[in-house]
Amino acid sequence: MVNMLIVLFGLTMLYMAATSRIKAHIKMLSIQGLILFLILFLDEDKTNLINLIFLSIETLLVKTILIPLFLTRILNKNEVFRDNEPHIPNFYSLVIASIMLFAGFMISSLHGQGFENVTALYFGVSISTILISLFLITTRKKILTHVIGYIMMENGIFLLSLSVAKEMPVIVSMGVLLDIFIAVFILGFLINKINTAFDELNICELCNLKDCDCND
Amino acid sequence: MIEVILIFPLIACLILFFIKSKKLNDFALISYSIFHLFISITLYLKKINLEISTTKLFGAYFSIDSLNILFLLILSVIFAGVAFYNKSYFKNTDRSDKAHTYYSIAILLFIFSMTGTILSANLALSWVFIEATTLASAYLIYFNKTKHALEAAWKYVFICSIGIALAFVGIILLSIGTGSINSLFFNDLYINAGKIVPFWLKLSFVFILVGFGTKMGLAPVHAWLPDAHSEAPSPVSALLSATLLNSAFLIILRFYKLMELTHLDHFAKILLVSMGLLSLFVTAVFVFNINNYKRMLAYSSIENMGIIAIGIAVGGLGIYAAMLHLLAHSLIKSSFFLTAGNILKQFKIKKISEISGILKQDKPTGWLWIACFVGIAGIPPSPLFLSEFLLLKAMIERDQIPLAIIFAILLTIIIFGIGKSVIKMSFGDVYKHENIVNKLSLGMYIPQIVFITASLILGICVPAFINQIINNAALAVSIT
């Protein structure tokens, strides 16, 4: 069951790579949050109650509901619905993402010294998630997609931290959550500002600071 | 009493948020800076008297040892200077009370998170605080609210967040490798270093170096640095350059010690040297044709971080040189940025090609500008001369002569690049500008004069107690 969920998590990444509608991206983020919650619920040992409750809140409340809602609000406010003309066409990015996911599965079939502390499938899928999100950030042009890529990467890292047999102290995971939450909030705030200052929410607009003479 | 250093800014922020008065903002900043300095000195004295290597605060999450006391003292001194400068900097501006309040709150949070980074004894906790520095300083960079400031702030938050996320991957990889040691406290890691699986440790060092290296400004992950430093208000640039980069470096340093204890330091040294040399190279290439003096100073920060990274990698005497370099660079670079603030205030322009005759326009600023250049270029009596000389000596001692030659050549190019611009700006006649401000208040000169004098003393003869602090810090890093 858990393995199936993890594979599903990997598949959401493929969908992300294939589509250019930002609404669909946000939906996928929400689904990823839900999958993470289910994985946590099915897999985590229930000995440390405080940690479990905290992590459930993090996945269910923050990752599944709050962040997608916030992004949808930004989306509607700024009226960017599609990420047109990425640097690499969607079809090819799907191919590349599939290769990365496949590589992740290959990694998870590795068994060597030191791998006894990590659940292999988690590890492989989370590494490929991080790689795919970095790849998507570099190939897409809309600023909002970049933020979505960043959150995907954080989801991947969350999955990676689940792969380790031991857990972080609550104070640390609280700090991590707080930081990421504020980061998303600040990025959203900046997106709104960029939309008013520049005409388009395109990354190509943000190229005025250079080391040549044309700079101010 | 010591815990107050972390609680004070949070309470102050709340009060400032509700009252929103410029006078109170300045008062809060200055009183916190004095308080910060006072506590740091107390901690330092206490440590000497008790002769123990660590003092624990807040349970075990924060501690003082002979390594981070150096960083804490640097932070306190620089912050004190910047807080005084800041008051005069905003004296005759038409900023609203609200904007000024948010600015002060952001500075308080920024200092708070840097203090937390420096004091924290847990790797994951220092991650949390480093990410907090990014978030706290985002508003500071955006403060001027121009298009350029917006762009710089976006790049800063985004690039640093990605970098720091990669550092977190490094932390998780480390905790895979540590196996039965269920702790990320540096001391526990040091004690149980032998049990860590080398493969995971190496992998995690790469991620940690790239992640925190982003924050430290090492090439090739330095992209945010010139933009952010040039667009932020000058006091903020000074803080970013002189204290933020150091705090990120401290974490790399602590992790490097772990690499040494597990005898993987050869691997770590190769990475540090290559990133350091690349930083020097990038600076040498870009500083040559640059036309924005604040960007030029930002590149110089990248260069100096590169030198420090190389110093750590060379080892032995090199570590002492790196620590001395760290201290001296913070003093000189912060006064350089603050002086750049004076120039920007007077000429209202950031282009090197359109500024000339600072000495005729305003003597003290001009002389400070030249003095800062002498300092940063490492011309005696600058303390950077001492550290760079020691570093070269360490390289030659260890038979790394090709490295020494490349290092010296790149430094020469950089000094020429910066010197060309500084001399062009300082001498000659003033170009006609419409809105040149003539008078600056005294508070905009004193911090720089104090910093430069301090570094001059440091360059002529390192005082015994400072020498001891640097030496202890260097000993804390190297295990041999």
What pLDDT score was predicted for residue A80?
79
What pLDDT score was predicted for residue A216?
45
Give the closest of B152, B162, B295 to A211, CB-based: B295
CA distance B358 to chain A (A): 19
Residues in A 106-125 with any Cβ partner in B closer than 8 A: 113-114, 116-118
What pLDDT score was predicted for residue A10?
92
What pLDDT score was predicted for residue A106?
87
Q: Does B407 touch chain A (CB under 8 A)?
A: no
Give the closest of A161, A211, A216 to B172, CB-based: A161
Show the tokens assigned to B66: 């002979």
- Section A84-100 average pLDDT: 88
Band of the pLDDT at A64, cuts 50, 70, 90? very high
- Section A89-107 average pLDDT: 90
| Beta-carbon separation of B177 and A114 below 8 A | yes
Band of the pLDDT at A215, cuts 50, 70, 90? very low
Compute how many other C-beta atoms are within 10 angstroms of the C-beta atom of residue B363: 10
Q: Does A48 touch chain B (CB under 8 A)?
A: no
What pLDDT score was predicted for residue B116?
93
Contacts of A113 in chain B (CB under 8 A): 197, 199
Q: Nearest 5°: CA angle at B361, between B359 and B366?
A: 30
What pLDDT score was predicted for residue B94?
80
What pLDDT score was predicted for residue A57?
84
Contacts of A117 in chain B (CB under 8 A): 176-177, 179
What pLDDT score was predicted for residue B245?
95
Give the closest of B134, B148, B176 to A209, CB-based: B148
Contact yes or no for B390/B320 (Cβ under 8 A) = yes
> What's the ipTM?
0.92
CA distance B393 to chain A (A): 34
Contacts of A168 in chain B (CB under 8 A): 124, 175, 184
Note down pLDDT in tens along chain B; length 480 residues.
Answer: 667 888 899 999 999 999 888 889 999 999 999 999 999 998 888 876 554 445 566 667 888 888 989 999 999 999 999 999 999 998 877 888 899 999 999 999 999 999 999 999 889 899 999 999 999 999 999 999 898 999 999 999 999 999 999 999 999 899 888 877 888 899 889 999 888 989 899 999 999 999 999 999 998 999 999 999 999 999 999 999 999 999 999 999 999 999 999 999 899 999 999 999 999 999 999 998 888 999 999 999 999 999 999 999 998 899 999 999 999 999 999 999 999 999 998 888 888 888 888 898 888 999 999 999 999 999 988 999 999 999 999 999 999 999 999 999 999 999 999 999 999 999 988 877 666 766 788 889 999 999 999 999 999 999 999 999 999 999 988 876
What pLDDT score was predicted for residue B367?
94
Interface A:B, Cβ pairs < 8 A: 122
Contacts of A145 in chain B (CB under 8 A): none
In our burial notation (b when 16+ CB lie closer than 10 A, e otherwise), range B303-334 reads bbbbbbbbbbbbbebbbbbbbbbbbbbbbbbb
Give the closest of A143, A157, A169 to B168, CB-based: A157
Q: Does B460 touch chain A (CB under 8 A)?
A: no
Contacts of B128 in chain A (CB under 8 A): 172, 175-176, 178-179
| Beta-carbon separation of B176 and A117 below 8 A | yes
Give the C-alpha separation, B141 to B159, whole Å: 14
CA B407: distance to chain centroid?
21
Give the closest of B122, B152, B169 to A160, CB-based: B169
Q: Quick one: closest CA in A to B296, which residue?
A: A211
| Beta-carbon separation of A114 and B138 below 8 A | no
CA distance A171 to chain B (A): 8
| Beta-carbon separation of A209 and B158 below 8 A | no
In our burial notation (b when 16+ CB lie closer than 10 A, e otherwise), range B283-293 reads bbebbbebbbb
Q: Quick one: closest CA in A to B184, which residue?
A: A168
Give the closest of B150, B175, B351 to A164, CB-based: B175
The sign one gets for the Cα dihedral B73, B76, B77, B79 is positive
| Beta-carbon separation of A114 and B199 below 8 A | yes
Q: Which of B144, B157, B154, B158 is nearest to A194 (CA)?
A: B154
Give the C-alpha separation, B151 to B163, whole Å: 18
What pLDDT score was predicted for residue B140?
94
Cβ-based neighbours of A58, under 8 Å, separated by 6 or more: A173, A177
What pLDDT score was predicted for residue B181?
80
Q: Does B410 touch chain A (CB under 8 A)?
A: no
Q: Does B195 touch chain A (CB under 8 A)?
A: no
Q: Does B157 touch chain A (CB under 8 A)?
A: yes
CA distance B232 to chain A (A): 13
What pLDDT score was predicted for residue A46?
62
Least confident of A18-22, A120-124, A202-206, B126-130: A202-206
Distances (CA, A) of B63 to A74, B130, B175, B246, B440: 42, 17, 21, 17, 41
Q: Does B151 touch chain A (CB under 8 A)?
A: yes
CA distance B424 to chain A (A): 17
Q: What is the mean pLDDT of chain A?
A: 84
Q: Does A183 touch chain B (CB under 8 A)?
A: yes
Give the C-alpha separation, B251 to B209, whole Å: 9
Q: How many Cα neighbours within 13 Å face the side chain of B16?
A: 28
Say which amino acid occupies B244.
L
Contact yes or no for B365/B440 (Cβ under 8 A) = yes
**B452 against A107, higher pLDDT:** B452
